[in-house]
Amino acid sequence: MKFGVIVFPGSNCDHDCFYAIKKILKQPVSYIWHTTTKLDKFDCIIIPGGFSYGDYLRCGAIARFAKIMDALKEFTADKNKLVIGICNGFQILCEAGLLPGALQRNKNMRFICKHVNLKVENNRTSFSKKYKKGQVLRIPIAHGEGNYTCDKETLAELKKNKQIVFTYYKNNPNGSVANIAGICNKQRNVLGMMPHPERASEAILGSEDGFLLFKSIETALKIKH
Amino acid sequence: MKAKIYVTHKKGILDPQGKTVETALISLGYNKASNVHIGKYIELDLQEKDKERAEKLVKEMCEKLLSNPIIEQYRFEVSS
């Protein structure tokens, strides 16, 4: 089982993700520079948070055309391989069309950095199987553009296919449709979420609720391989 | 050729920047202002003398990179 963390110019949560996998989950992991075109040796790829390419034009709009993205698209075609985009990673996945919808400016125009409560809407994915359905998690967010939006048809599809994995519980910080905090693709092997599970993976950080997400991935990959 | 490109929010998509500026304008006493929308303005030079071909190129750029069709719309002018 091998994890990879993509590094774009401007990624800044790459080390946190690397640390969470290596030191807490205790699984092999390496950084992947954005010019890489071969991803065969990986089983799970993390697109970390940050401000890839300075968030110029739109968040994720430039990263979407990085060399690695074609390889990533191929990677996701194999349903046994998993991709998780966190924060800027979620924005990149949406821009790249690997997830539906788009992330726009928070409703209150502010950059919000705080712990929020998330509800597990679907625990039957490789990313959430260690949680209970309806479980409430405390995980931090840190974004200015996390307001998930999509048209009515897409929202109906997301609901029908149970692609909404996490929602904001009680308080929606950014104005996202249907309180969406994280969604997966139809094939259930690509997850995008605004909250940062890697920042809530050990007690010293105030919450361990994010750790079960990585534990879910580990369990899922063990079954698949 | 030169291109001037305007990217704005699609109708019905929340424009929090526009809303905030609208509130600011009204609080400054400009009660007559409404429907404030904020977008992006992009200028570029094109090494292309044929207007039709230039327009085709700009359209492609808009659809591929300069706008996100899920939340944005665009219009542009091409001139020499």
State ipTM.
0.85
- Are B79 and B45 contacting, i.e. CB atoms less than 8 angstroms apart? no
Write down the H helix ranges in chain B. Answer: 16-27, 51-61
Give the nearest partner residue to A175 out of B14, B17, B68, using CB atoms. B14
pLDDT > 70 in chain A, percent: 99
CA–CA min distance B48, chain A (Å): 24
Q: What pLDDT is attached to residue B12?
A: 82
Instruction: Please write the tens of the pLDDT for every residue from B38-71.
Output: 999 999 999 999 999 999 999 999 999 999 999 9
CATH of domain B2-79: 3.30.1280.10
Burial of B44 (0-12, 13-18, 19+ CB in 10 A): middle
Average pLDDT over every residue of A170-184: 97
Q: Where are the domains of chain B?
A: 2-79
Q: Over chain B, what is the mean pLDDT?
A: 94
Residues of B in contact with A150 (CB under 8 A): 70
Distances (CA, A) of B38 to B18, B35, B41, B80: 5, 10, 10, 27
When pLDDT is cut at 50, 70 and 90, the band that residue B11 belongs to is confident
pTM of this structure: 0.94
Residue A212 belongs to domain spanning = 3-224
Tokens of A103: 């992330």
- pLDDT, one tens digit per residue, over A43-66 is 999 999 999 999 999 999 999 999
Q: Check residue A225 and give its pLDDT.
A: 63
What lies within 8 Å, CB to CB, of A160 at 6+ separation is none
User: Residue A56 sits in a domain of what CATH number?
Assistant: 3.40.50.880
Q: How many domains does chain A have?
A: 1
In whole angstroms, give the CA distance from residue B69 to residue B66: 10
Select from A174, A180, A206, A197 the least CA-distant residue to A13. A197
- Strand partners of residue A82: A44
* Catalytic status, residue A113: no
- Cβ pair A29, A68 in contact under 8 A: no
Whole-number average pLDDT of chain A:
96
Verify whether the Cβ–Cβ distance B70 to A102 is below 8 Å: yes
From A52, A185, A174, A56, select the one nearest A109 (Cα to Cα). A174
pLDDT value of position A74: 97
Exposed e or buried b per residue across A25-35, where buried means at least 16 C-beta atoms within 10 angstroms of its C-beta: bebebeebebe
Query: A95, A121, A145, A198: which one is catalytic?
Result: A198
Strands B72-79 and A102-104: unpaired
Measured between beta carbons, the chain B residues lying within 8 angstroms of A57 are: 40, 65-66
